[in-house]
Amino acid sequence: MRAAALALLLCGPAAAATCDEFDAGLDRRLAREPSSLEVNILLFEAARAGCAGALPRLFSAGASRLARDREGDTALGIAARAGRAAVVEALLSDEKPQLDLADARGATPLMLAIHSGRGAIARRLLEAGAAVDAADRQGETALSEAAFAADEEIGLALLEKGARADTRDRTGNRPLCYAAARGALKLTAALIDAGGGADARCGGETTALMWAAGHPDLTRTELAVATTKLLLSRGADMDTTDDRGRSALMIAAALNRFETARVLLDAGADRKLRDKGGATAADLATTPEMRALVGP
């Protein structure tokens, strides 16, 4: 009864019904004396469905917290990705060798939780002592995942736990550039303090200012503007160029980021700079309005 009530509270009626069905068939499946592989498959199913109440019987039948599925995921990794808080709690209750076991892509349960937007579970894994600087096969860490997701609460918590801010993934990018692109203002400021200053280079010889100026569509304009102003106030060089010879103003012009381009111009950005192909910001502009703003 207690497990069913917890499933209903954490996962809703649909998940509770799923777990009722799972529990109803579990005794029958275990009575067939399944192999260790089959028992572990049941564990993965329980973790994915959020059926924490089934775990004691599965462990009694020989399921292992250290077992992995075909993707290399442990039950903890599966539960972390799926947002199954009750299962995560149950898995962490006694043994913790599983805490930092990575999947086939090198992602730990902490990284999976952050990537999937499971902030509460990420915080719980941090409390349990999850490693903060583990990197996956792409060189991405929990901090870069948090920055890319604009999850400032988790990003700041990782820094407080000692996460390195100066790491670079296989594309050459730092958490700072991801945070700047997403308009994560507090995290950007903290990463500047912790990771080598506002002009630390990322992939393609870009800087955080360039990423803020060329922010993705999902970043709100007001956040991009605020982040651009922050970077300028912290000493970012507005006329530094990337490996194409393009400045932050050129990048803003090419992507039609009108408000960030205006901020850069107000700060004194050089509109006459030319990239390696000889183009100015006005040449790169894609609309008449932008061309008028950045032109001579």
pLDDT tens profile 207-262: 999 999 999 999 999 999 999 999 999 999 999 999 999 999 999 999 999 999 99
Given 97, 114, 131, which residue is the final one in a domain? Answer: 131
pLDDT at 11: 45
pLDDT at 103 over 80: yes
Same domain, 123 and 6: yes
Bridge partners, residue 141, by sequence: 135
**What does the mean pLDDT of the chain come to?**
91
Q: What is the Cα–Cα distance from 278 to 267, expressed in whole angstroms?
A: 23
Sign, Cα dihedral of 194, 198, 201, 206: positive
Residue 180 located in a structural domain: yes
Amino acid at 252: A
Q: What is the Cα–Cα distance from 255 to 284, expressed in whole angstroms?
A: 9
Same domain, 98 and 217: no
Residue-by-residue DSSP string for 138-167? TS-BHHHHHHHTT-HHHHHHHHHTT--S--
Minimal CA–CA distance to 144: which of 115, 108, 102, 116? 115
Residue 151 located in a structural domain: no
Amino acid at 98: Q
Residues 6+ apart with CB under 8 A from 241: 205, 247, 273, 275
pLDDT at 1: 36
Same domain, 2 and 127: yes
Residue 195 located in a structural domain: yes
Taking residues 60-88, what's their average pLDDT?
Answer: 93
What is the tens place of the pLDDT at every residue in 122-177? 999 999 999 999 999 999 999 999 999 999 999 999 999 999 999 999 999 999 99
Same domain, 1 and 127: yes
Same domain, 76 and 178: no
Please tell me whether residue 135 adopts helix, strand or coil conformation. Answer: strand
Burial 111-138 (b: 16+ CB within 10 A, else e): bbbbbbebbebbebbbebebbbebbbee
Same domain, 89 and 198: no
Please check whether residue 56 is in contact with residue 27, taking contact to mean a CB–CB distance below 8 angstroms. Answer: no
If one counts the domains in the chain, the total is: 2
Residue 243 located in a structural domain: yes
Check: pTM over 0.85? Answer yes or no: yes
Same domain, 197 and 126: no
- The torsion angles phi and psi of 293, rounded to 5 degrees, stand at -70, -45
pLDDT at 12: 43
Residue 238 located in a structural domain: yes
Same domain, 201 and 122: no
Same domain, 74 and 178: no
What is the tens place of the pLDDT at every residue in 265-277? 999 999 999 999 9
Given 70, 99, 131, which residue is the final one in a domain? Answer: 131
pLDDT at 10 over 70: no
Residue 61 located in a structural domain: yes
Assign residue 201 the CATH number of its domain: 1.25.40.20
Residue 158 located in a structural domain: no
Residue 163 located in a structural domain: no
Minimal CA–CA distance to 174: which of 150, 208, 218? 208
What is the tens place of the pLDDT at every residue in 188-204? 999 999 977 899 999 99
Given 68, 101, 131, which residue is the final one in a domain? Answer: 131
Q: What is the Cα–Cα distance from 47 to 38, expressed in whole angstroms?
A: 14
Question: Which residue range is the domain that position 124 belongs to?
Answer: 1-131
Same domain, 81 and 187: no
